[in-house]
Structure 1
Amino acid sequence: MNFSEHFLHFIWKFRLYKTLDLFCVAGEQLRILNPGISNTDAGPDFNQAKLSIGGTYWIGDVEIHLKSSDWLVHGHQQDPAYDAVILHVVHEHDQPIYRKDGSQIPVLVLKNLYPEHLLDHYHQLVNSIHKFPCEKQIGEIEAVVVNGFLSRMMVERLEQKSALVLDKLSRLTGDWESAFYCFMAKSFGFKVNEIPFELLASALPLQVLRKHLDHPLQVEALVFGQAGFLSGSFKDEYPRKLKKEYAFLKKKYGLKPIGVGAWRFLRMRPQNFPTLRLAQFSALVLKSDRLFSKILEIEELSDLIKLLAELPVNPYWIKHYHFQKETKEVKLQLGISSVHHLIINAICLFLFSYGKYADQPQLISRAIKFLELIPPENNTIIGWYKSSGLIVESAFFSQAVLQLNKYYCAQKKCLNCGIGIKILNK
């Protein structure tokens, strides 16, 4: 058998077998009134199933295996959680199975009870050598099915990331501003420098920066110093001033900088260099005391974009991409795609998370609205799906596609995917 138990779970859950004149191995007539609820925790595969076996009504658990003997292989005979199993569903019956009280568990053999095309379609998906399993079929599925499942993916993505927010919040003793500061810093890394920016936020608490918001040079000194960029000797006046300020502040607060080697410059345009990103991050800190509180009050996407796109970045960086290394003039402000990145990955996430935490559904709706208004992201993965005929109209759907690819397509979990199920049933 070149398929997994998950395929049998799929057949059982959606009743894709012949439903009339079903009989157990021992000859009892079987009527399936309710297949039960899929169990994602330890224990039998389906709970609260309702069956009629030999004319007797049963409510209990259903366990599914490729072979009956797998019951023993998996050690269920030693687990009291399986004493409530009322039906053993298998593809092949090779051994009778008994409960601890000596009673034999009824067995239903699924082999030959489901259409052959289901298994053929399943093999086509899970054995696909394409970029994702349904690359050749997804464009043929009705938009209502695809968009419905992608909407579920977007909510699932926000729920998963929200759990990370709440974990960070608990470690910061409930300080939403500090938690937001950490996630905003991470987002400023734009994937390539995500980790060093995250380390920087841990090494430079928001509480320290707040004490110096009236002194831009001190904030910039703290950011660049903790990032590890002020350890050398400098000719330019600006970095010399930063180094002097940082030496005093480092000693005052007992700070330990992260290693400068963590930052990546290779294969990047000057406007994406971490030094400019750090300058922009410093400017955002300076511009927005109690930034998260301000964001909670912003209702229009245009106002949010304006907040992030007009930062007081130090003019030194107009013609520098590193301290004492000049370049052609670059734009100091974040580009619109970078602004969108920050809104998608930090701001919308926190609106959603705080909305759930504080029971403010209007914030959840606002997060969804912003995602629907922002253009879709462009990257290799999203390009795969668009090339296959999928219409990705907004960041809401591009984020959903990323969730779909990572947790379903890449893991070949077609049987847990609404799109995959539709393809299997065609």
Structure 2
Amino acid sequence: MDFREDFLQLVWKYQYFDKRGLKTTDNEIISITKVGFHNSGGGPDFLEATISLNGLSLHGHVEIHKRASDWKQHSHDSDPAYNSVILHVVWEEDKPVRRNDGTAIATLELKGRIFLDVWKKYRDSLDFRQKLPCASGISEVPDIIRFSTLEKALVERLEEKSNLILNILNDTKGDWEETAYRWLFRCFGFKRNADSMQELAELVLYKTLKKHRPQVSALEAMLFGQAGLLPDESSEPYVDFLKKEFAFFKEKYSWDRAMKYQNWDFARVRPGNFPTLRIAQLASILSKAPDLHGCIFEDTQDFESLKRVFQVEPSDFWKYHYSFAGQAKKAADRKISNTVIHLLMINFVTPLWFSYGRYFDQSDWKERCFDLLQSLPAESNSIIGLFENAGWEAGNGFDTQGMIGLYKNYCTPKKCLQCKVGQSLIKAD
């Protein structure tokens, strides 16, 4: 039967094999006192295990392989970190192996010992050819296991985003307001223009914009000018005004570097997500928010108060434009949609709160993130569709963010046996 090495790791971790008359391949009697701690980092697979060989107690690490020859193939024979391995657990011993110090390793062969019901569940419940390998059995997993799985995946996803935010905090020398400002810009770039938006925020500091906060046109001039998006020629009087304003600010603040039009992706995004419109919306948000730090960390206590921060309308020019190229015949509402506001709550606010709590070691910010996500509607995208088609419905933003984290960090790399859902599906009776 074909299987992955992590299947053997799970078999060892939960001892899903027949231990009667257990002996090593050298015919030594073996008993297992402690299986060890599963190691997800570098080094042996299980740390601090305890076994006895012919009555002699040994304490050390356990390494798992499909075939014994994988020891040498993975270069463990030349790595001193594996000298503390006391047991080599394999499906079959096709070749004797030794440690880096030349000593022999006790080897346990699991071939013919793994419980048949575990084999069957592994074969029937997980199809690694599918995007969602556990799709056929996921609806059978108890709700409590699915919830704890989502919670774990959500925390891991928030930690990943938090690492990005804390890197920005380091760049800003501990300035949380400047950090929130740069993260806001990155989130407004969504997938296609996130890096460019963050670069723009680094070129035009928030403390500079705050000096001109009530004048949205001044904010637009600085942002569009530094973004390299103001056209060389235009028949629009407002564009000429922005260019003159930018020339003034460029000299005032001694800006000697700006982005170029080529830094921005217009081709692969819809007009409503053009970076020009998003920058105009940002300028409006920043002109109306007197204190970005206060808005995000102090004054906003619930979803509705947070929502009001983003319920703004860009300047009149944008009623007829998505970019500086051409003018629409009719005016249109360019307010930030409720769908986008919900995404900003998910991708901008909750990672900031999580990072803030993590930095100051205040656990209540984590619960605040969970409360906000549970108050938001479920997202709708192709990843969520995979889970829902398998019978796992998403009820809110907590669920969908957990599902996205689960899919990216476990389903896609096929780490199903490190997931509580996958473990539940093949659990021995």
Fold equivalence (TM over 0.5)? yes
The answer as to 2:286 corresponding to 1:285 is yes
Aligned-partner Cα distance in 1 for 2:268–2:68: 57
Aligned CA distance change for structure 1 residues 316 and 58 (closer, same or farther; 3 Å): same
Give the aligned CA root-mean-square deviation in angstroms: 2.2
1:300 alignment counterpart: 302
TM-score, normalization by structure 1: 0.93
Deviates further, 401-410 or 196-205:
196-205
1:5 alignment counterpart: 5
TM-score, normalization by structure 2: 0.92
For the Cα contact (< 8 Å) 1:88–1:108, is it kept in 2? yes
Q: Which amino acid aligns with 1:75?
A: S
Q: Deviations over 1:239-279 (max 9, x none)?
A: 21111101121233314332223434447654433322211
For the Cα contact (< 8 Å) 2:82–2:100, is it kept in 1? no
Deviates further, 121-130 or 192-201:
121-130
Aligned-partner Cα distance in 2 for 1:236–1:191: 30
Aligned CA distance change for structure 1 residues 239 and 99 (closer, same or farther; 3 Å): closer
For the Cα contact (< 8 Å) 2:377–2:395, is it kept in 1? yes
| Residue segments in structure 2 that go unaligned for 5+ positions in a row | none
1:136 alignment counterpart: 136
1:27 alignment counterpart: 27
For the Cα contact (< 8 Å) 1:126–1:412, is it kept in 2? no
Q: Which amino acid aligns with 2:379?
A: E
Q: Deviations over 1:322-371 (max 9, x none)?
A: 33512432213211111111111011100110011112222222111111
Deviation at 1:289, TM superposition (A): 3.4
**What SS class does the counterpart of residue 48 from structure 1 fall into?**
strand
Q: Which amino acid aligns with 1:285?
A: L
Deviation at 1:31, TM superposition (A): 1.6
Aligned CA distance change for structure 1 residues 271 and 87 (closer, same or farther; 3 Å): closer
**What SS class does the counterpart of residue 325 from structure 1 fall into?**
coil
For the Cα contact (< 8 Å) 2:25–2:106, is it kept in 1? yes
Q: Which amino acid aligns with 2:189?
A: G
Aligned-partner Cα distance in 2 for 1:338–1:256: 31
1:368 alignment counterpart: 370
Aligned-partner Cα distance in 1 for 2:100–2:345: 57
The answer as to 2:160 corresponding to 1:150 is no
The answer as to 2:326 corresponding to 1:351 is no
2:232 alignment counterpart: 232
Q: Deviations over 1:61-117 (max 9, x none)?
A: 112222223333333333332222211111112333345676532221111111244
Aligned-partner Cα distance in 2 for 1:102–1:216: 73
Q: Which amino acid aligns with 2:222?
A: L
Aligned-partner Cα distance in 1 for 2:18–2:358: 44
Deviation at 1:43, TM superposition (A): 2.5
Deviates further, 244-253 or 365-374:
244-253
Q: Which amino acid aligns with 2:424?
A: K
Deviation at 1:210, TM superposition (A): 2.3
Deviation at 1:216, TM superposition (A): 2.5
2:16 alignment counterpart: 16
1:414 alignment counterpart: 416
1:251 alignment counterpart: 251
Aligned-partner Cα distance in 2 for 1:35–1:71: 19
Deviation at 1:120, TM superposition (A): 4.7
Q: Deviations over 1:140-175 (max 9, x none)?
A: 222111111011100111111111111111122111
For the Cα contact (< 8 Å) 1:203–1:255, is it kept in 2? no
**What SS class does the counterpart of residue 91 from structure 2 fall into?**
strand
For the Cα contact (< 8 Å) 2:78–2:99, is it kept in 1? no
Deviation at 1:125, TM superposition (A): 6.0
For the Cα contact (< 8 Å) 1:271–1:330, is it kept in 2? no
Q: Deviations over 1:101-140 (max 9, x none)?
A: 7653222111111124434544556654333211222122
For the Cα contact (< 8 Å) 1:126–1:133, is it kept in 2? yes
Aligned-partner Cα distance in 2 for 1:243–1:289: 26
Aligned-partner Cα distance in 2 for 1:284–1:150: 33
**What SS class does the counterpart of residue 425 from structure 1 fall into?**
coil
Runs of 4+ off more than 6 Å: none
For the Cα contact (< 8 Å) 1:226–1:255, is it kept in 2? no
Aligned-partner Cα distance in 2 for 1:225–1:346: 25
Q: Which amino acid aligns with 1:393?
A: G
Aligned-partner Cα distance in 2 for 1:278–1:238: 16
Deviates further, 74-83 or 359-368:
74-83
Deviates further, 280-289 or 90-99:
90-99
**What SS class does the counterpart of residue 25 from structure 2 fall into?**
coil
Deviates further, 112-121 or 145-154:
112-121
Deviation at 1:300, TM superposition (A): 1.2
Q: Which amino acid aligns with 2:29?
A: Q
Aligned length: 425
